[in-house]
Amino acid sequence: MTIFQALLLFVAGFLSGAVNAIAGGGTFLTFGAMTLGGLPPIVANATSSIVQFPGYITSALAYAKEIRADRRNAILLGVISAIGGLAGALLLLSLSNPSFRAMVPWLLIAATAIFAAGPLLKPKARSDEHRIGPLGVASQMATSVYGGFFGAGMGIMMLAVLGLATGGSYHRLNALKNFISIVIALIAILVFAAGGVVSWLHAAIMVPGAALGGYCGVWAARRVPQAVIRAIVVAVGLLLAAYYFFTG
């Protein structure tokens, strides 16, 4: 790896952290940078999970009070999500790089569509909390399988699913989402590390960039309209999807 390539990876990590702090969607940048840099898609996907992980932890810590107050649902959803995340990660490892490569453009289009529809999927403020039923369990299981398998747009999907599954205020749902994201990502990382599909060198370069970008993103969030960042992320997602379609 050249110094220039390492610098580009650091910048991609930085932009990923900043974008996640403002509107989400940083996975598009980390996954795209690594695959365009020559990493096999499965390795890029697994390594991207590690790059995003510190952001999940800091977000959950910010909601520690809400998570503790809702520990029952957090534990139940955490168990469901751990099973789903494990299934998704194992499913990814069962595929060859060419097989996963053929799925990437479709996954990117789906994730981009979910991300673009994020404002429409955002739960409305409400207080009618209710117990999680079978449909809610099944929906969260499906979301966590996707999260362990690919993950881009997972947070937006979970907010929508949790809003239907358990109700409550936006901050309650966001707290649960952040906690569950840690569970899914941790399970996936353990599976990917055991499967030997993580590029630790790429992760070591990008994680500090993502951490710094997350800090700077808070500053940018107060000055850059989310609609602008969202449009940029959607454009990146569509460009990456087009690239994988035409180079497949």
Query: Can you give the pLDDT at residue 188?
Result: 92
CA–CA gap between residue 71 and residue 79 (Å, rounded): 12
Cα-trace Rg, the chain: 17
Query: Can you give the pLDDT at residue 2?
Result: 84
Query: Can you give the pLDDT at residue 236?
Result: 81
**CB neighbours of 143 closer than 8 A, spacing ≥ 6?**
81, 84, 154, 157, 158, 161
CA–CA gap between residue 146 and residue 151 (Å, rounded): 6
Q: Per-residue pLDDT tens for 74-132?
A: 898 899 999 999 999 999 999 998 898 888 889 888 888 877 776 666 666 555 666 77
CB 20 within 8 A of CB 211: no
Instruction: Name residues of the chain where pLDDT drops below 70.
Output: 23-24, 118-130, 218, 220-222, 226, 248
User: How many domains does one find in the chain?
Assistant: 1
Domain containing 61 equals 3-247
Q: Per-residue pLDDT tens for 123-147?
A: 665 556 667 778 878 888 999 999 8
Look up residue 56 and give its two tokens: 């999940």
* Phi, psi of 242, deg, nearest 5: -65, -40
